[in-house]
Amino acid sequence: MTNFIIREPTNKEISSIIKVLYSAFGRAPPEDIKAEEKIWRALIDSEIAKFLVSEDKGKIVGLGGVFLFGKINTYGYFAVLPEYRRKGIGTEIFINLLDISNKMNCETKILYASKLGEPIYKKLGFRRRFYGEMYKLPVQFSNSGIDHGEINILSNVPDWVLTLDKEAMGFDRTKYLTLRIKLGDKILGVENEGYGLLANKRLGPLIARNMGVAQQIIEKSIQLGAEHSIIAEHQYLSKEFFKTMKFTKMEDRGSVKMVCGKEIPEKLNLLYAIGTFAKG
């Protein structure tokens, strides 16, 4: 155990912890950090997520989060500043997040691990589900001959999207998806067949009943400014999909989805891209 203080951040500290998150991975914070702050505050205010920080003499040096979907909890946004690593800070934050879940009688825990973190989580009972890699989308889509007129840009979250999402993911994300639309993200949908969420130039999640529908949504998203997507690399996703779409893999931007506890009835054959990951 460390001597650092583990606590929830104050509202005024959201900007600081976003900067710690990006700095920990050697990346510059987003140019529009106010928009990022808005998302974090909305997640906290809607009780969809809880975040914890580690403080050393008034300085925030690490953080982590848990996302609450009833009996299903997902973990992420783990980050510790380089000079504070190997002191048990990340472990202590994670233990405190698990305590939050256990007090809520959580039955299934999900996280996205780095390759280095995977063996650690295995020792804690987590099982590998699939690997996800971030890909850069082509600037222009190929001449597939697909009519994109079938795709609607939705201003709300219809029941068929919620049904399809739950079928693929195995649990209800109504509250989360509704919040994303309120924050200005777009849903691109082919009714009852597939949908994609376009958020800040990223396409994901992308859930579709077949590759043709997935391709339609990807091509439409590129027209609307999508630049990258996190592809869920599992046994149901054919090599033909990657060949057809001409993705470019981005360096060191992958993660392993891991699950602990009760199995959930997800259908990976419907899942083409996840929304985001926050690996630890």
Average pLDDT on 87-96 reads 93
Q: Where in the chain is the domain with CATH 3.40.630.90?
A: 133-254+262-274
* pLDDT tens figures, 259-271: 999 999 999 999 9
Question: What class has domain 5-106?
Answer: alpha beta
Rounded Cα–Cα distance for residues 255 and 214 (Å): 22
Q: Where in the chain is the domain with CATH 3.40.630.30?
A: 5-106
Question: What class has domain 133-254+262-274?
Answer: alpha beta
The pTM (predicted TM-score) of the whole model is 0.89
Average pLDDT on 191-209 reads 95
* pLDDT tens figures, 142-178: 555 555 568 999 989 999 999 999 999 999 999 999 9
Confidence of residue 94 (pLDDT cuts 50, 70, 90): very high
Least confident of 25-34, 137-146, 238-247: 137-146
Helix (H) or strand (E) holding 171: none
Q: What is the pLDDT at residue 26?
A: 85
Q: What is the pLDDT at residue 225?
A: 94
DSSP 3-state of 79 = strand
pLDDT > 60? residue 120: yes
Confidence of residue 31 (pLDDT cuts 50, 70, 90): confident
Least confident of 84-88, 104-108, 216-220, 242-246: 242-246
φ, ψ of residue 209 to 5 degrees: the values are -80, -15
pLDDT > 60? residue 70: yes
pLDDT > 60? residue 47: yes
- Identity at 105, one-letter amino acid code: N
What DSSP string describes 226-255? --EEEEEE-TTS-HHHHHHHT-EEEEEEEE
Least confident of 47-56, 111-120, 161-170, 214-223: 111-120
Q: Which spans in 71-154 are helix H?
A: 89-103, 118-123
What angle in degrees, to the nearest 10, is found between the helix axes of 14-24 and 33-45?
A: 110
Average pLDDT on 75-94 reads 92
Between these two residues, 259 and 35, which has the higher pLDDT value? 259
Rounded Cα–Cα distance for residues 93 and 168 (Å): 30
Confidence of residue 5 (pLDDT cuts 50, 70, 90): very high
